[in-house]
Amino acid sequence: MLSNLTLLTFCAVLAVLGLIAFVVARAKALRTRQAGVAMYAQPDQYAWFSVLATAGPAILVGAVGAFVMLLLGAEIPTPYLLAASLVIAAIGLFVGVMQVRPDFHARQAIERVIRLALACAALVSIVTTFGILLSIISEAIRFFQMQSLWDFLTGTTWAPGDSFLAAAGRGGEVESVAQFGSVPLFVGTFIISLIAMLVAIPVGLLAAIYMAEFAPPRIRTLAKPVLEVLAGIPTVVYGFFAAITVAPIIVDFAGFFGLDASYNNALAPGVVMGIMIIPFISSLSDDVINAVPDSMREGSLALGMTKSETIKSVVLPASLPGIISASLLAVSRALGETMIVVMAAGMRPNLTANPLEDMTTVTVRIVAALTGDQEFESAETLSAFALGLVLFVVTLALNMVSVLMIRRFREKYRTNTL
Amino acid sequence: MSQSFDEITAQLRRRHRRSANLKRMSMGALILAAAFLVVFIGDMLVKGLPAFQQAQIQIEVNYSEQAREIPPAAVGDDVRSLVSRGYLRLIPSRMEENPELLGTQRMEWVIADSTVDQYLKGHNSELRPKEKRVVDRLVEQGRAELRFNTTFFTTGDSRMPEMAGIAAAAMGTVMTLIVTMAVCFPVGVMTAVYLEEFAPDNHLTQIIEININNLAAVPSILFGLLGLAVYINFFGVPRSSPLVGGLTLALMTLPVIIIATRTALRSVPDGIRQAAFGVGCSRWQVVRDHVLPLSLPGILTGSIIGMAQAMGETAPLIIVGMVAFIPDVSASFTNAATVMPAQVFTWAGDPSPAFVEKTAGGILVLLAVLITLNATAVLLRKKFERRW
Amino acid sequence: MLNEQTTQAKGQAIDVPTGDSTRTHAPQAGQPGEPVNRNKEANHELSIRVRDLNLWYGEHQALKNINIDIYQKNVTALIGPSGCGKSTFLRCLNRMNDLIKSVRIQGLVEMDGRDVNETKMDEVALRRRVGMVFQKPNPFPKSIYENIAYAPRMHDLVGRKAEQDELVERALRDAGLWNEVKDKLHQPGTSLSGGQQQRLCIARAIAVQPDVILMDEPTSALDPISTATIEDLMDKLKQQFTIVTVTHNMQQAARVADYTAFFHLGELIEYNDTRVMFSNPHIRKTEDYITGRYG
């Protein structure tokens, strides 16, 4: 492996070479200019071009070499690699200084390089998406080689059980067969998200209506930060709140009515998740409602409608696509929310519709599968990637639909407030 | 055909009443949201503020030869169970450092066991009745009191609540965020500059744009899966390290910074670009000398908000193993570390009241930092807000 | 006659009917501000009486001592250069200015014996009787049918479905739109052309059976043919409704209006019978504007 010292030496040598390139090229350009020859670019630009010519290829070679070593496992001795790239740097220096000629467009060359670098940065986001997709899919495929896809999607028992023992070559000791039927997880996720939406959509939407239509400016400027603070609270904090404060309250409350509630009931994480999503819904809906042109409101008011009738019959129907789109995004958030459910919902896959019982979600099982000390190759660990794949596909679909809806809404009113 | 005002007004009465309902309901919703916040913050304060205080007792410490071998021997039998075991364990090493302590006896204020701490704070405590009487006597003599909890801010995690602190996690957060920002700030700004100022309007550009929006909506836990599969399993980045955590968070924060930077770049009026082109600047010079400086406040604001988001994120870090038990403060990028929210998560797993208090205390610190960051961003935006 | 008007504003010159067609160039300063009432075959019952109306947007005074009488079942046109306050004035008549926070209004706007600005007056009831059509057609994002049926249903003007159908048909017929849309009543209102949309908005306004319809440059966003259709419609609608229209197009005012009021910099310069106004304006400024010397 690279020792820090060699790396440091390499960087130092490279920096010195770069400096030499800068000084020499600049001096040469200045000389040429003083000789009275008109040049295409400024001396500094020639200097920078030389620096680029020196460092660029050298770093590129180093990076490619390191990558080849990692990817292909080819053993290239590190000192050789670094020495090679230093040689290339020296050649680059020579070429760069040679290029300091009156008819050379140094500025254009630099800008081509800069443009290329910017474009490469833009590609990082694409690479990330594909990284997520590929990493999840490849592991999920390994999982489905062990378990049937059909059982995964339709099975009603999630019992990874001792599958890690099987992976460790001790399959004989396993008493029960591991089962990966994910239906209980989907149902749990669905119910908790549903509870969250039942809290978040009415409260968030009404708050947005108040902010956009009724609130005097003073309250608006006061309420916005409040909602922003609510939005900025880390989910782990909400999770703690749900587990320590809300869940016992719900248990007591249910007990008061003679109902039996689990401390890991689905209601607590659902409600708290709803609170978390309120600002999300309200700020998006606020934007959408504000994007409805005032001419709509005036048209209705001029017919002798009251303000609320106008809101209900004209403004809300007009902003409906935007509100639905916001709600879909919120659903996608609720589905992927992890910390609140990890801390407040149960671990036990429980196929039930009773929100007072404990149930578990997709994200809880992902975390559970990856935080133990299991072998990475075990079915349980890999099941996390299968669940992740489902989560990715569902949230991506929700997001796409939401984007399409908001785009249609925007085209309708030709506004750009979103 | 037409009705008088009075007739119409009479008909309207019912409609006005119904209309007032919507206003009341919507106002109620906003108040409800604000009430959630108040209840929530109040709950955290009630649970967490005691964490900033800690019970200390004044006892006689006997730095004998025996204490070097068996630390509990340094204190008297009656108070031995009241002193923090963490403190006792440190006695030998202190004697190593200060040889003159050997053979001396001195009265010292020492950190009390968490049971004493909880008892003094009026919570249920596991102290036995006899021990309670001892503590009561110490209190009467002024030899036991609650003091500001410096331990909480100077130590790492510990199994003993009275010795547990957030310093290791805070350092982990700093190291992780350094990695995050070092990666995602340049890449994010460069991407935004490319998309806004250079990119041709072709399919690839559109794909990148759609992709960035999608990336912003991907559940954070999936970034953890990416980090695990790619960084740890493929590239061999050390598990639990700030390096892998920071790289994972960087990908998550990238869309935030890109979107904020694009908004900031877009708010610079085209007139300025045209003026700069007019005096013969190249596209890059226009961006470097005119557009970027003008949009810098917006970019910084977006970055701070992105950083605050990254700071509060837990789920992907759990997946890449950053929930380790870290007792020592370490400023390394490659050693195992934990971060503030992960520390909160770890403590929250312990149901004992002493750790509930620590959890809420950690949350208060985390919230204070986050609110400060966000307020900074808001102020920055206000200060540099410019109407063209 | 309405001659209790005593407080004549400075610089305000309201045209006094002279009966003959002598050109009067000099402002009629010092004359009592008695609004015109020309002898015409049309009816001259008073609909809205405005006295000493002042309006401020924050610090800026947008209307200065406006005195005007608007007559029933006539078309009154408000003309003047942009920014002269004609639209602002129009919106005072059904209190649409209430929607703007910084507006302050002083003076009397009287309709049916009531001051519309008094606190007891319900602006919703007022707007029920004083409808409005806007500069840009603004059909609701609903079907053509719903665009019209919406308000009468809320006002309890119709009960059964059949009644509602009938009212929609009548409003569309009155607006001259029926034949064009009768087969697509359930398509969205926004699917119509600009001129059709504007007629839909007019149909929507008359379906509530108001007394007065305010039109704020109703044809400025339309092509010439749609404009002509709407002008014909205004001529027809004045049989039933009082129409006050703002226009920047003087030919339009000349074509459709019975009375014309000329606004300039927040003041009402001249108010007269349209024929007099265009053939024989009494005030120099009016003439300059009408002949296109500025505006």
Looking up residue B259, the CATH number of its domain turns out to be 1.10.3720.10
8 Å CB contact of B235 and A70: yes
Q: How many domains does chain B have?
A: 2
Mutation target among C114, C121, C122 for the B interface, most CBs of B within 10 A: C122
8 Å CB contact of B26 and A228: no
Separation CA B256–CA B310 (nearest Å)? 10
> b/e string for B15-48 if b means 16 or more Cβ within 10 A?
bbeebeebbeebbebbebbbebbeebeebbeebb
Separation CA A148–CA B50 (nearest Å)? 53
- Nearest C-alpha neighbor of B165 from the set B249, B70, B84: B84
Chain A residues touching residue C94 (CB < 8 angstroms): 302
Kindly state whether residue B159 falls inside one of the protein's structural domains: no
- With a CB-CB cutoff of 8 Å, which residues 236-295 of chain A face chain C? 293-295
Residue of A nearest to B9 (CA): A304
Separation CA C84–CA B97 (nearest Å)? 89
How much is the pLDDT for A65?
77
Chain B residues touching residue C114 (CB < 8 angstroms): 5
B136-163: pLDDT as tens digits? 888 888 888 888 988 889 888 888 888 8
Kindly state whether residue B35 falls inside one of the protein's structural domains: no
Scanning the structure block, which residue is given the tokens 């966003």?
C221
CA distance B211 to chain A (A): 7
Q: Which domains does chain A have, with CATH numbers?
A: 2-104 (no CATH), 182-369 (1.10.3720.10)
8 Å CB contact of B16 and C154: no
Residues B273 and B330 in one domain: yes
Residue of B nearest to A334 (CA): B219
Kindly state whether residue B10 falls inside one of the protein's structural domains: no
Q: How far apart are the first and last CA of chain B?
A: 53
Angle between helices A183-209 and A267-291 (to 10 degrees): 40
> b/e string for C117-154 if b means 16 or more Cβ within 10 A?
beeebbbbbbbbbbbbbbbbbbbbbbbbbbbbbbbbbb
Helices in B228-352 by DSSP H: which ranges? 242-266, 270-278, 283-286, 292-312, 315-319, 340-348
Residues B174 and B118 in one domain: no
Question: What are phi and psi for residue B62, nearest 5 degrees?
Answer: -110, 105
Q: Is A313 on the interface with B (CB under 8 A)?
A: no
Residues B179 and B269 in one domain: yes
8 Å CB contact of A304 and C155: yes
8 Å CB contact of C122 and B12: yes
Q: Is B18 on the interface with C (CB under 8 A)?
A: no
Cβ-based burial of A281 (10 A; exposed 0-12, middle 13-18, buried ≥19): buried
- C-beta neighbour count of C271 within 10 angstroms: 25
Paired tokens of A225? 């930060």
8 Å CB contact of B363 and A223: no
Separation CA A149–CA A45 (nearest Å)? 60
Kindly state whether residue B39 falls inside one of the protein's structural domains: no
Residues B305 and B336 in one domain: yes
User: Which of B98, B119, B149 is the C-terminal boundary of a domain?
Assistant: B149
- C-beta neighbour count of C104 within 10 angstroms: 12
Q: What is the pTM of this model?
A: 0.84
- With a CB-CB cutoff of 8 Å, which residues 125-164 of chain B face chain A? none
Residues B130 and B200 in one domain: no
ipTM of the assembly? 0.90
Q: Is C158 on the interface with B (CB under 8 A)?
A: no
B25-82: pLDDT as tens digits? 999 999 999 999 999 999 999 989 988 988 888 888 888 888 888 888 888 888 888 8
CA distance A304 to chain C (A): 4
CA distance B268 to chain C (A): 30
Residues B138 and B174 in one domain: no
Confidence of residue B1 (pLDDT cuts 50, 70, 90): very low
8 Å CB contact of B374 and A312: no
Q: Please, what is the average pLDDT of chain B? A: 88
B285, B190 Cβ separation under 8 angstroms:
no
8 Å CB contact of B8 and C209: no
Q: Is A309 on the interface with C (CB under 8 A)?
A: yes
Q: Which residues of chain C have pLDDT under 50?
A: 1-41
- Nearest C-alpha neighbor of C98 from the set C72, C126, C71, C129: C126
How much is the pLDDT for B308?
92
Residues B70 and B115 in one domain: yes
**What string of pLDDT tens digits covers the 418 residues of chain A?**
445 677 788 788 888 888 887 888 788 777 777 777 777 777 777 778 888 888 888 788 877 777 777 666 666 677 777 777 778 878 877 777 777 777 777 777 788 888 888 888 888 888 888 888 888 888 889 888 888 888 888 887 887 765 555 555 554 444 556 778 888 899 999 999 999 999 999 999 999 999 999 988 888 888 888 888 888 899 999 999 999 999 999 999 888 888 888 888 899 999 999 999 999 999 999 989 998 888 899 999 999 899 999 999 999 988 988 899 999 999 999 999 999 999 998 777 878 778 888 888 999 989 888 886 666 677 888 888 999 999 999 999 999 898 888 887 777 665 433 3
User: Which of B118, B149, B180 is the C-terminal boundary of a domain?
Assistant: B149
Which domain range does residue B56 map to? 50-149
Kindly state whether residue B138 falls inside one of the protein's structural domains: yes
Paired tokens of B73? 């021997």
CA distance A196 to chain B (A): 14
Confidence of residue B238 (pLDDT cuts 50, 70, 90): confident
Mutation target among B2, B5, B14 for the C interface, most CBs of C within 10 A: B5
Least CB–CB distance from A229: residue in B23, B47, B371:
B371
Kindly state whether residue B228 falls inside one of the protein's structural domains: yes
Residues B174 and B260 in one domain: yes
Helices in B49-123 by DSSP H: which ranges? 65-69, 77-80, 85-97, 114-120
Amino acid at A179: Q
CA distance A322 to chain C (A): 14
Chains B–C, number of C-beta pairs less than 8 Å apart: 30
Q: Is A347 on the interface with B (CB under 8 A)?
A: no
Q: What share of chain A is helix, strand, coil (3-state, %, to 5)?
A: 75, 0, 20
Kindly state whether residue B33 falls inside one of the protein's structural domains: no
Q: Is A306 on the interface with B (CB under 8 A)?
A: yes
Paired tokens of B382? 């206000």
Residue of A nearest to C215 (CA): A302
Scanning the structure block, which residue is given the tokens 């003679």?
A258
Kindly state whether residue B278 falls inside one of the protein's structural domains: yes
Least CB–CB distance from B284: residue in A111, A139, A213:
A111
- With a CB-CB cutoff of 8 Å, which residues 277-336 of chain B face chain C? none
B161-195: pLDDT as tens digits? 888 889 999 999 999 999 999 999 999 999 999 99
How much is the pLDDT for C244?
95
B241-285: pLDDT as tens digits? 899 999 999 999 999 999 999 999 998 888 888 998 888 888 888
Residues B194 and B143 in one domain: no
Residues B112 and B181 in one domain: no
Angle between helices B203-217 and A316-336 (to 10 degrees): 70
Residues B144 and B269 in one domain: no
8 Å CB contact of A305 and C96: no
Separation CA A301–CA B87 (nearest Å)? 74
Confidence of residue B201 (pLDDT cuts 50, 70, 90): confident
CA distance C44 to chain A (A): 25
Residues B133 and B224 in one domain: no
Q: Is A115 on the interface with B (CB under 8 A)?
A: yes
How much is the pLDDT for A168?
52
